[in-house]
Structure 1
Amino acid sequence: MAESTHEVKPRGANERKLVRKIDFFILTFCCLSYFVNYLDRTNLNNAYVSGMKEELGFRGNQLNVINTVFTVGYIIGQIPSNLALHYVKPRYFFPTMMFIWAGLTMITASTHTPQAIMAIRFFQGLAEATTFVGTHYILGSWYTERELGKRSGIFTASGLAGTMIGGFIQSGIHASMDGRHGLSGWRWLFIIDGIITIPVALYGLLLFPDTPETTTAPYLTPEERSLAVSRLLSQTTEEDLESKPKVFTWSFVRIVLTSWEWWGFVILWIIAGETESFSSNALLALYMKSHPSMRGYAVSQLNNYPTGVPAVGIVSTLFWAALTDTLGGCRELVGYFIGVTGVATSAMILTAMHSANPGGGKATTVVFAAYYWAGTVYACQAVFFAWANDAMRGRAPVFRGVVLAGMNLGSNAVNAWWSIVFYGASMAPWFERGMYAMVATSVALSAWTAGLTYMIKRNKGRQILEDGETKGDASNKEAGVKSKGGVPWVHQSATDSVM
């Protein structure tokens, strides 16, 4: 009863002060790291069109091969990076990976062959795999259900902001540094992007607060550290906190792969990621470049008009993240909204394509409106990862970390070929195949959202029943926190092997 009362009462002054502190130190570091992560990850394309292609003698599809090699490293690093957070304090692990990828970025400035860049980018992908899923794991460790969506939204918005202004920053570096000290502008680009990362890493090393159970942050009082744990109603025992779960076992793998959370949320993000790829593959820019009327857009227009898509995405992300928090975590609403948006925007573009004058002003207006509206789909990033964190609050932290990493692993594995099959540049300006794929994935997302919502509610009801039985029976209580396969498990009966 005491736990239930704590859950519903308004936050007191002490809790508000705690949240303000962790907001400042967690969000500033995570958002800055995501921003520089974006710069270090995307500077290759900018360098390619700024002289690197000619200077290093790129041929054929070598740039595509480099991007694929990076993606392979990024995918491989997802689950190991989140597992590492269970053994190494985040304030050591995150900055260490940032130092590594900053160093690799600067080393790229010294390369003389495309093959050297391929090797560097593979290891850079491994190091950069820590940022996105690792941050969502940390946010889920510190924030309650009514707080998590907004913080996830702010984090995601920082990456979208990077897509808007990163190109301007990198163009400025090239324009002002080209030829200085005998180095090409593209080489300075890698050097400066790496240098920018270092102070952010140092900031995290000194002041990042780790997790509530392990924090030693000097700006948190002992009372605030205790409050950080108790306000999340953690069911993990002291014994669990001190143990090192045997995660590298077949037993652990079986538990993860037979859980509804793994399949439910990994498939959710695979589907949602492909609805998001409608905007992330720069389709509006490719449409403008190959406009059906052969209308010529200026270079400034080709660069500036598409920035409206991530701008809409920022607004949508913050709106839906705040709304679902206010509604008590109704994250499934975004799945239905995306389903409607995906079908509607695809239909608008197909209608313009088959109109009497597909190159006319009216059809062009419809297409622009559709792509801008489609930018609202970016909201799924913050909301769905918050949803996964919410649903796994009763799970051991290491389990939650693996599922979050699996979500991004699955999405990137499919994205590696999805854009080629459905949104290849040769399919511009209409991407007809991609429009039908968007309709199919949008319908699938709505259906999967409904099924996942049912599973979450069903298991919450079972959890409440088991908790009631546990409180009435001391022996059941002991079974409820018993480790399975060396992994601390919570909210689980002794006979339930997959929950």
Structure 2
Amino acid sequence: MTAHNTVDAKGRSSDDLARVEEAELKGEQIGQPGLATALEIQGRFDSLRDLTPEQMDALNKRVVKKVDWRLMPMITLMFLLNYLDRVNVSNARLAGFQTDLGMSDTVWSAGISTFYVGYLVGQLPGNMILAKTKPNWFLSLIMLLWSAGTLCMAALTSGAGFAVCRFFIGFTEAPFFPGITLMTSSWYTKEESPLRMAIWHAGNTASNILSGFLAAGILENMQGVVGLKAWQWFFLIEGAVSVIVAIVAYFILPGWPEDSGFLDDQERDMAKYRMLVSNGGIDETQVGAWAGLKMAAKDPFTWIFCLMHFALITAQSFKDFMPSIMETFHFNKLTTYLVQAPPYAIAYAAACALAWSSGRFQESFWHVVIPIILGGAGCGILIGTLNVGARYFGLCLLVAGTYNGLNLQLSWETTVVPAPRSKKAALVAIANCISQTSHWFTPYFFPRSQVPYYRLGGSIILVGVVLVVVSAVLTKWRATVLNKKLDEQEGWSPTSGNERGWRYVS
């Protein structure tokens, strides 16, 4: 006896829907994009099933607007303070922090490296915990912890204390950067994600700009206030502000799309629908943490992006020594603090423009490769001449090229491995974890004996640039191969007349 074949409001038979669900399940089980179309995914939600395209578009815009206001300003501010903790020691060094604690260059570099040891240890477990918990309380908690570490920096009296304190700050900061990357990729589609990541990367660039102004204001004017040194005030003020922001973040940050209370039921369904379409039909929540980790470990994309992220962090090794590099331009101390701002402002504007272009045209390879090559050219100028104007121009190219690459690498890796969430969390954490090993050795490439050219440091930057290009080529090659397989499965060709489904961004 044949079962009755019903037809829904969109004209789809129950047999058709069963085949779609079977195809989706098959895709979910192997962690690869399913075969469902946007219309078919819409039919899975009771609150969305009967909406017209115009109504869907209006609802989508309403959800994106709500998420933007709830998420973007908060994580941008948190990221700004997060990065201030990484660059503040460089400006404090110019104010006598290293000298007052009696640290040699070797001890100083060891302390800088120790931060990244803690960062490495806390990376993977922290991000795997985040994938299974609510982001608002977890991200707020770790921010409170690293803020406490920043406050403790003001009480340091020795190089050993410096190393211990920086290890703790690195350990507690570890899940934050991959965590907000995971949140962004879980709330925004592959078209929207690059620009959103560029926007919160303003916290990175703004921290470098703000750090210079804070240094100019605090380190130049608060020496001896209530018996404290200027660098102590630097850490106390930054730590106190971070504590306040962490408390506020607990009440403002959203959870995941499937359980956020600031959306109504229909909006929540739209948030889930958007991500299913963007992920090729794969449900983000389908597997547990350990299964996701195993899936990530078996995916070649994970190890290619490990190389790319490592190369980008290596190419950015100058950032911990930016004030010292600027000091070789022989400006006065106040000007040295202030002229750090324009290169980062230029980098941010360029990153936003390129991120919008990358998302709009769904292309990542050339958007990463061309700027990183220009960054390498800037490095060559910086280590090849003592002309201040030329070196400053080279520094602008170097900063813009490397920061743009890091931003787009994050959106690229979460686009080609869109789901499940635990797999994506593992990939982001593994790549970010391995990339931080660069900080174990790159500080030793910028000793004071290399003043004024810092050519040893320039050489390691150029190695990073070359490796970025190599890893981008590998990513594009693998994405192209996988897209050809999807074309074959769908029977798609430029002349087939069929709608092309989800594809890997190359």
Is 2:145 aligned against 1:100? yes
2:7 corresponding residue in structure 1 = none
Match of 2:450 among 413, 417, 427: 427
2:273 corresponding residue in structure 1 = 230
CA shift in 2, pair 1:59/1:78, >3 Å: same
Match of 1:196 among 213, 232, 241: 241
Unpaired runs of at least 5, structure 1: 354-358, 469-490, 492-499
> Matched residues in 1 for 2:275 and 2:299: separation?
23
Q: Shift of the alpha carbon at 1:102?
A: 1.6
Is 2:368 aligned against 1:338? no
Match of 1:78 among 101, 114, 123: 123
Q: Percent identity?
A: 21
2:5 corresponding residue in structure 1 = none
Q: Shift of the alpha carbon at 1:427?
A: 2.5
Q: Deviations over 1:216-269 (max 9, x none)?
A: 33xx111111110011115455xx84864435xxxx665433321111111111
Q: Shift of the alpha carbon at 1:194?
A: 1.9
Match of 1:141 among 186, 196, 199: 186
CA shift in 2, pair 1:370/1:115, >3 Å: closer
8 Å contact from structure 1 (residues 342, 438) kept in 2: no
Count of paired positions: 444
Q: Greater CA deviation, 83-92 or 406-415?
A: 406-415
Is 2:436 aligned against 1:416? no
Q: Deviations over 1:126-171 (max 9, x none)?
A: 1111221111111000100111111000111221111011232244
CA shift in 2, pair 1:116/1:450, >3 Å: closer
> Matched residues in 1 for 2:135 and 2:356: separation?
27
> Matched residues in 2 for 1:321 and 1:146: separation?
10
Match of 1:368 among 383, 386, 392: 392
Q: Shift of the alpha carbon at 1:307?
A: 2.8
Local SS of the residue matching 1:15: helix
Instruction: In structure 2, give the amino acid aligned to 1:336.
Output: V
> Matched residues in 2 for 1:382 and 1:434: separation?
23
8 Å contact from structure 1 (residues 264, 452) kept in 2: yes
8 Å contact from structure 1 (residues 282, 306) kept in 2: no
Is 2:334 aligned against 1:300? yes
Q: How do 1:71-470 and structure 2 match up within 5 A?
A: 71-174=116-219, 177-217=222-262, 220-233=263-276, 235-236=281-282, 241=285, 244-246=288-290, 255-277=295-317, 280=319, 282=321, 289-290=327-328, 296-327=330-361, 329-348=362-381, 353=385, 363-377=387-401, 378-393=403-418, 395-421=419-445, 423-435=446-458, 437-463=460-486
TM-score, normalised to structure 2, is: 0.78
> Matched residues in 2 for 1:383 and 1:7: separation?
28
2:28 corresponding residue in structure 1 = none
Q: Shift of the alpha carbon at 1:428?
A: 3.2
8 Å contact from structure 1 (residues 157, 318) kept in 2: no
Q: Shift of the alpha carbon at 1:466?
A: 5.9
Local SS of the residue matching 1:231: helix
TM superposition outliers: structure 1 runs of 4+ over 6 Å: 6-11
CA shift in 2, pair 1:88/1:300, >3 Å: same
> Matched residues in 1 for 2:459 and 2:287: separation?
50
Q: Shift of the alpha carbon at 1:83?
A: 0.6
Instruction: In structure 2, give the amino acid aligned to 1:310.
Output: Y
CA shift in 2, pair 1:85/1:266, >3 Å: same
8 Å contact from structure 1 (residues 265, 388) kept in 2: yes
Q: Shift of the alpha carbon at 1:74?
A: 1.1
> Matched residues in 2 for 1:302 and 1:270: separation?
29
TM-score, normalised to structure 1, is: 0.79
CA shift in 2, pair 1:337/1:466, >3 Å: same
Q: Greater CA deviation, 162-171 or 402-411?
A: 162-171
Local SS of the residue matching 2:257: coil
Q: Deviations over 1:430-488 (max 9, x none)?
A: 344555555554344333312211211322443566689xxxxxxxxxxxxxxxxxxxx
> Matched residues in 1 for 2:272 and 2:61: separation?
14
Q: Greater CA deviation, 157-166 or 177-186?
A: 177-186
CA shift in 2, pair 1:6/1:438, >3 Å: farther
Q: Deviations over 1:389-446 (max 9, x none)?
A: 11111x321111111112222222023313423x444223334455555555434433
Instruction: In structure 2, give the amino acid aligned to 1:225.
Output: R
Instruction: In structure 1, give the amino acid aligned to 2:312.
Output: A
Q: Shift of the alpha carbon at 1:339?
A: 4.5
Local SS of the residue matching 2:275: coil
> Matched residues in 2 for 1:386 and 1:307: separation?
25
Instruction: In structure 1, give the amino acid aligned to 2:298.
Output: T
Q: Deviations over 1:38-57 (max 9, x none)?
A: 23333334444445456544
Q: Greater CA deviation, 173-182 or 302-311?
A: 173-182
8 Å contact from structure 2 (residues 293, 422) kept in 1: no
> Matched residues in 1 for 2:421 and 2:249: separation?
21
Instruction: In structure 1, give the amino acid aligned to 2:468.
Output: L
Considering only aligned residues, what root-mean-square deviation do their CA atoms show, in Å? 3.2
> Matched residues in 1 for 2:232 and 2:190: separation?
45
> Matched residues in 1 for 2:399 and 2:288: separation?
43
> Matched residues in 2 for 1:245 and 1:38: separation?
28
Instruction: In structure 1, give the amino acid aligned to 2:301.
Output: E
Local SS of the residue matching 1:267: helix
8 Å contact from structure 1 (residues 286, 429) kept in 2: no
> Matched residues in 2 for 1:289 and 1:105: separation?
25
8 Å contact from structure 1 (residues 331, 383) kept in 2: yes
Q: Deviations over 1:272-307 (max 9, x none)?
A: 333333x52556x6566446xxxx433333333343
CA shift in 2, pair 1:196/1:183, >3 Å: same
> Matched residues in 1 for 2:303 and 2:468: separation?
14
Unpaired runs of at least 5, structure 2: 1-34, 43-52, 492-501
CA shift in 2, pair 1:338/1:61, >3 Å: same
